[in-house]
Amino acid sequence: MGLTCEQLIGRAHELAPGFAERAQRTEDARAPLDENVAAMIDAGILACLTPRCYGGHELPIATMSRIVAILSAACPSTGWVSAFYMGAAWRAMIFPEQTQRELFADKPYLLNAGQAAPLAKVERVAGGYRLSGQTPWSSGSVHAEWVTFMGVAQGGDAPPEPLVFMVPRAEAELIDTWQVAGMRGTGSNDMRVDEVFVPAHRATSFVAALEGKAPGQALHAAMYRQPFIPFLMCEVVPVLVGALRGASAAFIARTHARHSTFTGAKAASRQAAQMRIGRGLAAADAAETLLDAYLERYMHVRAEQNDIADRAHMKLKAAFITDVCRNAINDLARGFGGDGFREQSPLQRYFRDINMLAVHAFLDIDTAAETAGRLALDLPPDDPLL
């Protein structure tokens, strides 16, 4: 029997303090901790979006987003991977039914890593495709049991076609490349395949998925029949929103404990600190309100109404929320003081994590704003990720 929204959100709140306590260890490991992943599995959180026919809870996407925000307030890296593991169940629905049944044959959740960059070589062969290449940014790769790749199929009598492929983790090689300034605990390494055969049923059209019209999606309820990129924003934007809330709480705690080195005066008595806290709380509230509005619009727009202009404006909304979070953490950072940038301080981790996420290809405000501006000027969009 599936859990309710309230039960899963309550379990996320129970997990969050432990994730916060282990956040530095997560960063040091450069990947999610085994105990954190196990805790999410045991709590049933990773089955949040899995259809009931595959043993999941089939809860609203807004519930996933709320859970991601709660966990990201404690540890943005763990929150990010939780988003991809929960969202993997939704993304699996773009594949044919045979693949779906394979993926959920023995459990109601899916440990799936993936990346947007296309592979160098995808060749059509008898019965399927042969894949070769190395791609970066594979979040959750360390614990993944399946890996999603993208590439343009070539050969045969058909024209080139962008496809998405599902590959068992045992058939892909993890390349340890995750040496970065922010989001260090996500384990977003490169993944490599070398002449790996993928049967036809483990491939699906990327164009159809972008439009929410992949055949596998039609087998399920309306929430699974939405366009691809707007759904991804429901996964990733809550990480930033939750991280900003966590940073605001950490800044308040630091201000309470901080004294002037020279005068001994309490930092909490300073008007500048009080105003900075107020701005941080206002920004955190605003980001949460904007995210709620995004989710409300996403869940009440039917897939067939989501043309490319609609998808571009949804991406702009997500990028704008991201920019709100970046500007807010950078304002808070001006009040951290030197000790706020010591490794043991969570403040510097929130600062690095939010600023790194803000330049993600899906979340970059410049790209999203340019696309929206082109459409407003009756010019064709040139963003392939819409």
User: At residue 303, does pLDDT exceed 60?
Assistant: no
Length of the chain in terms of residues written: 386
Q: Are residues 23 and 83 in the same domain?
A: yes
Quick check: 304 pLDDT over 80?
no
Give the model's pLDDT for residue 305. 64
Cα–Cα distance between 8 and 12 in angstroms, integer? Answer: 6
Within a domain: 263:
yes
Domain endpoint, select from 205, 239, 265: 205
Q: What is the pTM of this model?
A: 0.96
Shared domain for 88 and 119, answered yes or no, is no
Domain end call among 43, 74, 103: 103
pLDDT band at 300 (very low <50, low <70, confident <90, very high): confident
Report the sign of the C-alpha dihedral through residues 369, 375, 379, 383, in that order.
Answer: positive
With 0-12 / 13-18 / 19 or more C-beta atoms within 10 angstroms meaning exposed / middle / buried, residue 267 is middle
- Token match 């070769």: residue? 132
Tell the residue number behind the tokens 């630091």, with chain if given: 254
Give me the helix-helix angle, 308-333 and 271-299, nearest 10°.
160
pLDDT at 261: 63
| pLDDT tens profile 16-68 | 999 999 999 999 999 999 999 999 999 999 999 999 999 999 999 999 999 99
Output b/e per residue, 98-130; b: 16+ Cβ within 10 A. ebbebbbeebbbbbbbbbbbbbebbbbeeebbb
Q: Is the pLDDT of residue 178 over 70?
A: yes
**Nearest 5 degrees, angle CA 292-CA 295-CA 301?**
140
Domain of residue 255, CATH code: 1.20.140.10
What's 97-164 look like in SS3? HHHHHHHCCCCCCCCEEEEEEECCEEEEECCEEEEEEEEEEEECCCCCCEEEEEEEEECCCCCCEEEE
DSSP 8-state code for residue 4: P
Where do we find the tokens 């790749």?
Answer: 149
Q: What is the pLDDT of residue 264?
A: 67
Query: Does any domain span residue 132?
Result: yes
The answer to whether residues 169 and 254 belong to one domain is no
Banded pLDDT at 384 (limits 50, 70, 90)? confident
Q: What confidence score (pLDDT) does residue 299 get?
A: 85
Q: If you average pLDDT over every residue of the chain, what do you get?
A: 95
The tens digit of pLDDT for each residue in 87-118 reads 999 999 999 999 999 999 999 999 999 988 99
How confident is the model at residue 72, as a pLDDT? 98
Q: Which residues contact 48 (CB under 8 A, 6 or more apart)?
A: 8, 56, 57, 59, 63, 64, 67, 86, 89
Tell me: do 99 and 116 sit in the same domain: no
Please report the pLDDT score of residue 262 as a whole number: 65
**What are the two backbone dihedrals, phi and then psi, of residue 74, each rounded to the nearest 5 degrees?**
-85, -45
Answer yes or no: is 221 within a domain. no
Question: Are 312 and 246 part of one and the same domain?
Answer: yes
Note whether 249 and 304 are same-domain residues: yes
Residue 189 sits in the same domain as residue 235 = no
Tally of structural domains, the chain? 3
Q: Are residues 334 and 284 in the same domain?
A: yes
Are the beta carbons of 193 and 20 closer than 8 angstroms? no
Distances (CA, A) of 159 to 123, 154, 199, 200, 205: 12, 7, 19, 16, 13
**In the chain, % of residues over pLDDT 90:** 88
> Does residue 311 belong to any structural domain of this protein?
yes
245 and 318 in one domain? yes
Residue 266 in contact with residue 274, Cβ under 8 Å? no
The answer to whether residue 385 scores a pLDDT higher than 90 is: no
Q: What is the CATH number for 65?
A: 1.10.540.10
Residue 11 belongs to a domain: yes
Can you tell me the distance from the alpha carbon of 360 to that of 185, in angstroms, rounded to the nearest whole number? 16
Give domain status of residue 93, yes or no: yes
Among the candidates 103, 130, 159, a domain finishes at 103
Based on the fold, state whether residues 178 and 199 are members of the same structural domain: yes
Backbone angles phi, psi at 385, to 5 degrees: -105, 65
Residues 324 and 188 reside in one and the same domain = no
Do 77 and 148 share a domain, yes or no? Answer: no
What 3-state DSSP class applies to 320? helix
Structural domain includes residue 218: no
In this model, does residue 320 exceed pLDDT 60? yes
Residue range of the domain that includes 66:
5-103
Q: Are strands 146-153 and 161-168 parallel, antiparallel or unpaired?
A: antiparallel
Is 347 a domain residue? yes
- pLDDT per position as a tens digit, 244-260: 999 999 999 999 887 66
Binned at pLDDT 50, 70 and 90, residue 302 comes out as low
* % of the chain surpassing 70 pLDDT: 97
CATH of the domain at 144: 2.40.110.10
